[in-house]
Amino acid sequence: MRGAGWIERRLSQSSIRSFTAIVLLASLIAAPAFAQPVEARDTPTRAELKSSAATGLILQGRITGADNKTYRELPFQVPAATARIEVEFDYDRADKTTIDLGLIGPGEFLGRDGLRGWSGGNKRRFTVAAADATASYSPGALAPGEWKLLLGIPNIRAGRSAAYTARIRLVPAAQPDAIAQEQRAPLRAEPGWYRGDLHMHSAHSDGNCATQSGARAPCPLFLTAQAAANAGLDFVAVTEHNTVSHLPALRELQPHFDRLLLIPGMEITTFQGHANVFGVRAPVDFRVGSAAVPDWNAVLGEMQRRGLPVSINHPVRPSDERCMGCGWTPLPAADLSRVGMVEAINGGDADTPGSGIAFWQRQLNAGHRLTGVGGSDNHDAPTAAEEPFGPSRIGRPTTVVHARELSEAGILQGLREGNVFVDAFGSRDRLLELRAAHGGREAAMGGELTVADGQRVQVFAQVRNLAGGRVEAIVDGVRSDLIAQPQVSAAQQSFEFQWPSDGRRHWLRIDVRDAQGRLALMGNPVYFNWR
């Protein structure tokens, strides 16, 4: 049991009063259907419950010296089809007053009378959902009915009273992947280039690594996060095969890794191909070919309804006994308008026949605007497993995203917008920027310009930390000699050239090869006349 000093920070009483006034006004305007108000009580140790369009519910009350070393239960109603319960709690801590916190649901849970967790005084916010929960609390089904916020009062002095406020947000099942409140704050608030790995596995699927004695065992997720932090990454997506069992571990680890964004993901692994989905917080039915999930379009339609971006993984891998279902072979053909990305580079395959670059470029030529990304597909956090197609390390390759901020929403938006390049060798400092200008308008990678027949586009590229390399312009999948002097001779170098338009749809992107001729940086396209 911890005292008030262990709680992250406190709200002033004036902010509580202001918030309550706003909530009361909101409730008069538009109380949501899921907020079920109960009778307000005048007794100071009982909760007054109000509905709010913004937060769902507010419970307020007071404790006095007579409540010292007792427990209080604050009831509230949870309707059917609720996906998540979020609680934020604050109270007056004068004279070392301390209130501890827990949660009780209806019926039994894990053989006990509904107790879903106890955080004492160590957490001011927590969340509980079917698939994940804040550390100190257990995930599981949210049964409808009366739930109770459990208060323990280890200390309040005689003659004192203290006010408390609990804000409760009930997320409906129609939003199963909604980002919880405490996960929305960015780790870094400024726009910029952020480096990450979009494909990796741990003990929650088939990741394994060396034990203390040198044997092999399922690899704890903490080692994956630590290896990513050691690699200097800004974000990772942990994408376990067909499960979301890793979500509670990600929640537990994120406060510790406060410079590394941990994005929940899942690799939808089927007999007809694999694809990553990012931002997932509820299970995905992966049984393509079954009565429940007849084909890949059923999966993609569900992901589109849930607002989750999908990336096709290692699309040209074999789909036989060497790698069951690894290649992209959906029958019937998948609707790629519901796909956002292609894993163009998987591990170290950039310059091999197993690379997805050619597949990605064919889809671009077919009219699909897909962001090319990379992922290590790492299964061995500390030592780099010998995968069937060569060694793979966390952050090799690195997907580098220009985002408004380092947050889950910011990174996923950046991936959708396509101002992205892939650093094939996972350096910490190489950079590729591309922009095209015409008629007073500019477009970066992922952007679009309309250019009439006979007009020219001015194209600008900048490369950093690849001296001795060579820049390549690629138009519609074909290398073009648009750049008169393609050699990279300085640590930071700019290139400028023109592209002539014929008024039809095209795309142009930039690759950079290193001094040994290896693909080092893979850029995404700028689009012309795409609409």
Alpha helix (H) residue ranges in 7-63: 13-30
Burial label, 471 (beta-carbon count in 10 A; 0-12, 13-18, 19+): buried
Q: What pLDDT, on the 0 to 100 scale, is given for residue 320?
A: 86
Residue 295: Cβ within 10 Å count: 19
CATH homologous superfamily of domain 431-531? Immunoglobulins (2.60.40.10)
User: Which is higher by pLDDT, 30 or 125?
Assistant: 125
d(CA 277, CA 306): 11
pLDDT beyond 60 at 81: yes
Q: What pLDDT, on the 0 to 100 scale, is given for residue 242?
A: 97
| Band (106; pLDDT cuts 50, 70, 90) | very high
Q: What angle do CA 220, 223, 227 make, to 5 degrees?
A: 155
SS3 state at 281: coil
Gyration radius from the chain CA atoms: 26
Question: Are β-strands 98-104 and 115-120 bridged in parallel, bridged antiparallel, or unpaired?
Answer: antiparallel
Question: Cβ contacts of residue 402 below 8 Å, gap of 6+?
Answer: 191, 192, 193, 194, 414, 417, 419, 420, 444
Specify the length of the chain in residues.
531
Q: Does the bond joining 397 to the residue before it have cis omega, within 30 degrees of 0?
A: yes
pLDDT tens column, 322-337: 888 999 999 999 999 9
d(CA 496, CA 434): 10
Max mean pLDDT range (8-17, 58-67, 106-115, 375-384): 58-67
Q: What pLDDT, on the 0 to 100 scale, is given for residue 383?
A: 55
Model's pTM, two decimal places? 0.87
Given its phi and psi angles, is residue 77 left (phi above 0), alpha (psi -120 to 50 degrees) or beta? beta
d(CA 216, CA 208): 6
d(CA 200, CA 207): 8
Q: What pLDDT, on the 0 to 100 scale, is given for residue 113?
A: 82
d(CA 493, CA 44): 69
SS3 state at 159: coil
CB 451 within 8 A of CB 503: yes
- Residue 432 host element (H or E): strand 431-438
Question: Are β-strands 341-346 and 371-375 bridged in parallel, bridged antiparallel, or unpaired?
Answer: parallel
d(CA 346, CA 388): 12
pLDDT beyond 80 at 45: no
Residue 64: Cβ within 10 Å count: 16
User: Which is higher by pLDDT, 390 or 264?
Assistant: 264
Structural domain spans, the chain? 4-172, 190-428, 431-531
pLDDT beyond 60 at 7: no
Amino acid letter, 7: I
**Could you tell me which of 409, 365, 316, 397 has the C-alpha nearest to residue 525?**
365
CB 109 within 8 A of CB 89: no
CB 125 within 8 A of CB 188: no
* C-alpha 503 chain-centroid distance: 38
Q: Which CATH fold would you assign to the domain 4-172?
A: Jelly Rolls (2.60.120)
Lowest mean pLDDT segment, chosen from 60-69, 387-396, 469-478: 387-396
Q: What pLDDT, on the 0 to 100 scale, is given for residue 393?
A: 87
Q: Does the bond joining 172 to the residue before it have cis omega, within 30 degrees of 0?
A: no
pLDDT beyond 80 at 457: yes
pLDDT tens column, 51-62: 333 348 999 999
**DSSP notation for 447-486:** -EE---TT-EEEEEEEEES-TT-EEEEEETTEEE---S--
pLDDT beyond 90 at 29: no
pLDDT tens column, 430-439: 999 999 999 9
- The DSSP letter of residue 423 is E
Burial 460-470 (b: 16+ CB within 10 A, else e): ebebbbbeebb
| Band (43; pLDDT cuts 50, 70, 90) | very low
d(CA 75, CA 188): 37
Helices (H) and strands (E) in the chain, counts: 6, 32
CB 235 within 8 A of CB 261: yes
pLDDT beyond 70 at 8: no
Q: What pLDDT, on the 0 to 100 scale, is given for residue 381?
A: 79
Question: Cβ contacts of residue 87 below 8 Å, gap of 6+?
Answer: 101, 103, 125, 126, 127, 149, 166, 167, 168
What is the sign, positive or negative, of the torsion defined by CA atoms of 420, 423, 427, 430?
A: negative
pLDDT beyond 60 at 90: yes
| Band (306; pLDDT cuts 50, 70, 90) | very high
CATH homologous superfamily of domain 190-428? Metal-dependent hydrolases (3.20.20.140)
343-359 mean pLDDT? 97
Residue 452: Cβ within 10 Å count: 11
CB 284 within 8 A of CB 302: yes
Question: Cβ contacts of residue 463 below 8 Å, gap of 6+?
Answer: 430, 431, 432, 469, 471, 488, 492, 493, 495, 512, 521
| Band (469; pLDDT cuts 50, 70, 90) | very high
